[in-house]
Chains A and B, each alone.
Chain A
Amino acid sequence: MRELELDLEAFEGPFDLLLTLLLKEELEPREVDVAGIVISFVENLAERDAIDLEACGEFLVLISALLELKARSLFPEEAAELDDLEPEEAAEELARRLAEYRRMKEASVWLAERLVAERDRWFRLGPAPLAPEPERRLAPQNATSLAEALRGLAVPPPKVSLSHMALRFPPVSQFLERFRSLLGRRRRFDFDAEVGGLSRVEQAVAFLALLELRKAGEIALEQAAPFAPIRISSSRPWPAAAPAGRSPAPPWPDAADEPMPSGAVQSTVPFGLGSSAASQEREEGLELSDSERIETWTARSA
């Protein structure tokens, strides 16, 4: 096996290397010492402080392409059996891509030569000067017609109708209450059976309510397998007499403590659903970490 002196950094990626190797008459892919390249690359890597993931990925592509070529040239028949691409097809595809790259490489050589040839052309560089502001010519006006036009504009615009926006979200609290009262009557129930007749959006909100209840530790969820029916059971003794909507530990304080005015649609905005709870959590989290920070700070300064 011939010694391959390879400065990996000198190549612009795997295609560049492959092209160079293939076009060099003196080196057949089967002669390439792949292990040697890997060792020199790993040594090269060990000398560096940080691992360049991109370079490593590039190297993997390169080395696997080389390995494939070498394997094909050493064991052509076995390779054909293993591969779903016929060797000819694979070679054709590789040749097509290499040819494409090669044309671009030649084009880049042309550009580089052009730069050298045009080195003695100097010209002014800079941002384009501003175009003159087009002058707006106004037809002569009289005050009355202007006032008339203004009066037309001063009328408040008609209210924009949102009736076409069909996607309305029922409040999560509605389902919280419904599930709680259900669990007051029954020990366990089936999610699909409960929400069977509802719309997709309602089912989604019902599921959110389920997650809220689970988070508050009020219920236990079971599902035998993905897409199997979801079984819900009460995880703690639930006073059947408790007034609906007033739980000892409401997981949704804004929903339970400040009931919406009757008849109001709690949320027509999709983001309204989760954001109140989420932002509240976020605020609590921030407060906590802020106060912790202040404590640490005072402890340190004291």
Chain B
Amino acid sequence: MDSTLRLIASNPVDQLARTVEALLVVASAPLSVAELAEACADDPERVETAVGLLRERYTERRSGIVLEEVAGGYAFRASREASDACARLFERPVERGLSQAALETLAVVAYLGPCSRPEIARIRGVAADSAVASLVERGLISEAGRESVPGGAVRYRTTPLFERVFALESLAALPRLDDLGADTGELRDRLLEVASARAS
């Protein structure tokens, strides 16, 4: 009953959608429903309806601008068909030239964060200082307090920008760690074989 009423000409949600649309154009980072609702001084549920309206309007192939759910909020981006044109005019400073070391460090922080440089180094078996510095500079990770012991090392966690660059709705959208490197049994068997091999 209520929803049919809303579709009638002077649709108040349509007006709210225009406001949400305007906010998203101004924003340079994804806006959550809560943030949008506060800015619109409106009800979060109605804002979600408005966002739904906009998502229908701003889809691939329908518009040059696409509204996507990313990094715990909503943000506009260019449609994929415009990517070549974008690439001719713009640079991708965040992800350009990410080294293997930086990607490994990023994976550790994304899955185990907040975690400190010593913890990252323990897992990778290599000092992670320069990789961490590079990721902080790119804005993919940021400081998140210190370890709780006195004089504890600085801990890091991934930023919303990380989720945005990797097109993740949230960190929960990362593949499950258990599904990665699943055949650890094989690794152990090979090592055991080496360890207990009798010189023949």
Contact = CB atoms under 8 A, between A and B. Distances in A.
Contact of B191 (A15, A58, A95, A105): A95
B106 A108 contact: yes
A104 B194 contact: no
A64 B109 CA distance: 28
A140 to B, nearest CB: 25
A41 to B, nearest CB: 16
A76 B197 CA distance: 6
B3 interface: no
B180 A98 contact: no
Interface stretch (A125-133, A270-278, A280-288): A125-133
B57 to A, nearest CB: 18
Main secondary structure of the interface of B (DSSP, over half): helix
Interface string B49-86: 00000000000000000001000000111101011001
A101 B199 CA distance: 30
B125 A15 contact: yes
B153 interface: no
A76 B193 CA distance: 11
A120 B194 CA distance: 46
A107 B167 contact: no
B123 A122 contact: no
Contact of B187 (A102, A111, A112, A126): A102
B194 A58 contact: no
A87 B192 CA distance: 8
A173 to B, nearest CB: 35
A107 B125 contact: no
B120 to A, nearest CB: 9
Main secondary structure of the interface of A (DSSP, over half): helix
Given A99-B184, A111-B166, A115-B98, A105 B104 contact: yes
B144 interface: no
Contacts of B80: 120-121
Contact of B106 (A28, A77, A111, A122): A111
Given A12-B101, A14-B125, A107-B174, A28 B184 contact: no
Interface residues of B, number: 55
A142 B129 CA distance: 60
B151 interface: no
Interface size grouping (class) on chain A: 35 or more
B110 interface: yes
Nearest to B95: A115
B129 to A, nearest CB: 9
Interface string B100-133: 1101101110110000000000011111000000
Interface of B: 26-29, 68, 75-78, 80, 82-83, 86-87, 90, 93-95, 98, 100-101, 103-104, 106-108, 110-111, 123-127, 161, 164-167, 174-175, 177, 180-181, 184, 187-188, 190-192, 194-199
- Closest A-B pairs by Cβ, 5 of them: A13-B126, A120-B83, A107-B107, A91-B195, A123-B77
9 contacts: A22-B190, A23-B187, A106-B181, A107-B180, A111-B106, A115-B95, A120-B83, A122-B87, A129-B28
